[in-house]
Amino acid sequence: MGYNLLKGKRGIIFGALDANSIAWKTAQTVHAEGGTFVLTNAPIAMRMGQIDELAKETGSEVIPADATSVEDLDNLVAKAVEILGGKIDFVLHSIGMSVNVRKGRAYTDEKYDFTAKGWDVSALSFHKVLQSLYKADAMNEWGSVVALTYMAAQRTFPDYNDMADNKAYLESVARSFGYFFGKEKNVRVNTISQSPTATTAGQGVKGFDGFISYAEKMSPLGNASAQDCADYTITLFSDLTRKVTMQNLFHDGGFSNTGVSQEVIEKF
């Protein structure tokens, strides 16, 4: 790499848990492209993960924040601007969690306080992040906010459970907030709909390994890896995509537009 695409740009990266996570790889790639940033995660995720290693490697500070807490987010935004020495140019929202999935509850047997918690963490948190940035006027003009999503927002993947509903809501927030952020501050807001990816979060979904190989056989270019996703995210943070906003961008090797592939037919 090394095109210096993000030279002089400042950002906030949510959700780097370990070296497999898309947010982790995005942070490394942003660093390689000359961007600076603060890293943030929920206190519990920080205890589970290795975020301090990443901070050292990229010369970044870590600011703990619960993305469901407006107070935490307001504090994060203020501190980020202070630490980085100016307004924010890019933000990655890479957060998702379903208590129903974790507790093995079927979609047809949801426990609704689990559902509400998962929605707050996975979907409403994106609105909260955007609103904190917006109210503080913390984004530079032509800044870029990206959230990670999955095609279960449009099509049914039975084992994806209530995360499918969370992702549909997340994508709607990107469009709705993207309008106001674009109109008033020239800031763009997009979601990337990524291939199934072997991350710690992804592997919580039942039958995941089989599904990854199915998607690989269905996609003309094969699945997009976590590193591929990081590279794509960089283009959306750069000045080369200034007029791209309110989009849900499929980054899946062509899976979303493929009805069936020769390999899948041969398998059956």
- Residues in binding site for NAD(+): 15, 21-22, 95, 167
Exactly one of 3, 107, 150, 214 is catalytic; which is it? 150
Q: Is 160 designated active site? A: yes
Q: Which residues pair with 91 in a beta bridge?
A: 12, 145
Spatial distance between the Cα atoms of 200 and 109, rounded to a whole number of angstroms: 25
Exactly one of 3, 134, 160, 179 is catalytic; which is it? 160
Q: Is 179 designated active site? A: no
List the binding residues.
15, 21-22, 95, 167
User: Pick from 210, 14, 172: which is nearest to 96 by CA?
Assistant: 14
Spatial distance between the Cα atoms of 119 and 56, rounded to a whole number of angstroms: 32
Q: What amino acid positions are annotated as catalytic residues?
A: 150, 160
